[in-house]
Amino acid sequence: MNTTGLKIAALAGDGIGPEIMREAIKVLRAIERKQKLSLEITEAPVGWAAIDQEGKALPENTLALCKKSEAILFGAVGLHYRDAEIPKEKRPERAALLQLRKQFGLFANLRPIKLLPALAAACPLHPERQEKGIDLLFVRESTGGVYYAYPRKTEEVLEVKDDGTTTQRIRRAVDTMALTTTEIERIAHVGFRAAWLRRKRLTSVDKANVLETGILWRDVVTEVSTQYPDVVLEHVLIDTAAMQLILRPSQFDVILCGNMFGDILSDVAAALVGSVGMLPSASLSTRRHGRTFGLYQPAGGTAPDIAGKNVANPIAQILAAALMLRHSFGLDPAAKAVENAVDRVISEGYRTRDISSQRDSKTHLVSTSQMGDAIAAAIV
Ligand code: IPM
Ligand code: MG
């Protein structure tokens, strides 16, 4: 395979984004040397960083770079304390991240969640509930549902009281949850294929007891399941799924969800494996010419409270880079080398603050950059 000059757009963004991106690039450079790859990594501003430099969250130059690239390595965007500075549709979460997902058709968001044995003490569950460990894959629909559908607005209306009289003007916010059979089918196929490659069990999450979208979701996923006779499908309501994730996470393998449910449940699951700072995410489009275009990011946010302090956990960003090597470039050995390096430094006891636990003896508290150095040095 031609592995020269793989073009990567690196958009670090806001908050802890730049610090963790620096470490991911450090690790990519280490794997590049070890495995004789050639990576063309070009950085560009996004989010508040881009608003400050160029007046918008996703400037034309940044978008042009993404279009020329084979993959996007993304940090994090959004600073809630600056929200009042700009109209809501121009804020980075919508104008940059959601826009990129939509623009590049990145409908399939994969979030692998694994409790490393050495991190068992960072898991909030009693060891008994950890059973044989936690190893899940979320397949989250990420270009549809309530994040994108219209109408979507906040309006002024007259409040109607129970007796039919109107009184004062109040504000009313509207979001719309909408999904088509096409959207459900294509994400269901991603879910079933992933399940087929793993333990052949797929849990589909919905709210079919209340929502129209939930009923359609369940129907379509059931229909698609007939094409995967080897995969056992179960349907679970979102509230039950949230509870069961905490009570018995090991019963799940691949969890298929709509956009918002997947957003929420994947953070719940991230807490189970120690920290959202450990959780990478791949947003993929349909495979074309043997390549999958993708955006790879940590699933956590910008964490403004710890930004600039060199304490954030860079592992989610580093594992996101590994997912990029695997899914966009087909470089499974390189991806594994990065994942093994992470496992190794964790088992050697390196811990950033979020995953350190007093129950855990023989660990060393390290900074963001020390963690990146250790992982880069552990690449073999
Ligand atoms: C995520 C994030 C985003 C989402 C936000 C930042 C828009 O929480 O990737 O999980 O909700 O999709
Ligand atoms: Mg989220």
Is residue 1 predicted with pLDDT exceeding 70? no
Mean pLDDT to the nearest integer, 41-49:
98
Residue 156 structure tokens: 């002024």
Asked about 175 being catalytic, the answer comes back as no
Mean pLDDT to the nearest integer, 199-206:
98
Give the global pTM.
Answer: 0.95
Ligand with smallest separation from the Cα of 109: 1
Judge contact between 79 and 16, C-beta under 8 A.
no
Percent of the chain with pLDDT over 90: 89
For domain 124-144+179-273, the CATH class is alpha beta
**Alpha carbon distance 221, 68 (integer Å):** 35
**Tell me: the pLDDT tens digits for 127-159?**
888 888 899 999 999 999 999 999 999 999 998
- Closest ligand 1 atom to Cα of 281: 9
Is residue 289 predicted with pLDDT exceeding 80? no
Nearest CA to 28 out of 302, 20, 290 is that of 20
**Alpha carbon distance 327, 310 (integer Å):** 29
- C-alpha distances out from residue 93 to 83, 87, 203, 235, 297, Å: 10, 12, 28, 31, 13
Mean pLDDT to the nearest integer, 229-258:
97
Tokens 């509230």 found at: 239
- Closest ligand 1 atom to Cα of 77: 6
Q: Tell me, rounded to whole angstroms, the distance of Cα 242 from its chain centroid.
A: 18
Q: Give the residues across from 19 on adjacent strands.
A: none
**Ligand 1 neighbourhood includes 141 CB (under 6 angstroms):** no
**Ligand 1 neighbourhood includes 299 CB (under 6 angstroms):** yes
Asked about 34 being catalytic, the answer comes back as no
Asked about 206 being catalytic, the answer comes back as no
Phi first, then psi: what are they for 250, rounded to 5°?
A: -70, -10
CATH of domain 1-118+281-380: 3.40.718.10
Tell me how far the alpha carbon of residue 31 lies from the centroid of ligand 1, in angstroms: 28
Query: For the chain, how many helices (H) and strands (E)?
Result: 13, 14
Q: Which residues contact 136 (CB under 8 A, 6 or more apart)?
A: 112, 113, 114, 249, 252, 253, 254, 255, 269
pLDDT value for 3: 46
Is residue 2 predicted with pLDDT exceeding 70? no
Phi first, then psi: what are they for 354, rounded to 5°?
A: -65, -25
Mean pLDDT to the nearest integer, 172-185:
98
What residue segments make up the domains of the chain, in order of their start?
1-118+281-380, 124-144+179-273, 145-177
The SS3 assignment for 251 reads helix
Average predicted confidence (pLDDT) for the chain: 95
Residue 62 structure tokens: 């940044």
Residue to mutate, 72, 89, 93, 264, ligand 1, most ligand atoms under 8 Å from C-beta: 93
Mean pLDDT to the nearest integer, 318-334:
97
Angle among Cα 349, 113, 356 to the nearest 5 degrees reads 30
> Amino acid letter at 161?
K
Phi first, then psi: what are they for 235, rounded to 5°?
A: -105, 135
Which residue would you say has higher pLDDT here, 193 or 168? 193
Shortest-distance Cα residue to atom 5 of ligand 1: 93
Asked about 150 being catalytic, the answer comes back as no
User: Ranked by mean pLDDT, which of 125-129, 161-165, 303-307 comes out on top?
Assistant: 303-307
Phi first, then psi: what are they for 351, rounded to 5°?
A: -140, 130
pLDDT value for 303: 97
Shortest-distance Cα residue to atom 9 of ligand 1: 299
pLDDT value for 203: 98
pLDDT value for 4: 59
Q: Which residues contact 342 (CB under 8 A, 6 or more apart)?
A: 315, 318, 319, 322, 375
**Ligand 1 neighbourhood includes 14 CB (under 6 angstroms):** no
**Alpha carbon distance 153, 150 (integer Å):** 8
- Closest ligand 1 atom to Cα of 98: 7
> Amino acid letter at 165?
T
Q: Give the residues across from 155 on adjacent strands.
A: 172
**Tell me: the pLDDT tens digits for 89-140?**
999 999 999 999 999 999 999 999 999 989 988 899 998 888 888 999 999 9
